[in-house]
Amino acid sequence: MTDRPEHERVREVVEPSLTAAGFELVDVERQASVLRVTVDLLAGGVDLEGVTAATRIVSDLLDSTDLIGDRTTLEVSSPGIERSLRTPEHFRRFVGTQVAVKTRPGTEGERRVDGVLETADEEGVVVAGRRLPYGDIERAHTVFVWQTGAKKTQAKKKIGRAS
């Protein structure tokens, strides 16, 4: 068990309990002394109460298994409006949406590719007409696009009520 990366071991320990409680484990990431666990509700849209419940589940499981040690800070959060894309399942879920991709150094073509995620399969994705194998992707995330017409309409309604 110790020869696998820490994030895989943490995922294996916490995912069944999170799923049973109605959460989706979106990501597990280590940055220095911080272990970041990202969760969402399976029904969609986790709030502060949900993050608190997920934190208790994850913390209790990690304490009971002593998987991460004493000097680690646990951070449990929601994926937010712009979500990291790391797995083929993440990419498949967001086909048809706007994404930003940064490729690994040495990958042919421009390193930054922004556009619509057209397809995603087990080998890679197509973004803005460009085929990218998963092995060539350094980072990727969804891009939130403001609906400008709706925003202006809402602002006018608020101003109209105030006068």
Helix, strand, coil % over all residues of the chain, rounded to 5: 35, 30, 35
Dist CA 91 CA 122 (whole Å): 10
> For the segment 13-34, what is each residue's pLDDT rounded down to a tens digit?
999 999 999 999 988 989 899 9
> For the segment 56-80, what is each residue's pLDDT rounded down to a tens digit?
999 999 999 877 777 889 999 998 8
pTM summary value: 0.68
What is each CA distance from 123 to 39, 119, 128, 135, 140, in whole angstroms? 25, 11, 17, 9, 15
Q: Which residues pair with 36 in a beta bridge?
A: 29, 75
All domains in the chain, ordered by first residue: 6-77 (3.30.300.70), 88-142 (2.30.30.100)
Dist CA 97 CA 125 (whole Å): 13
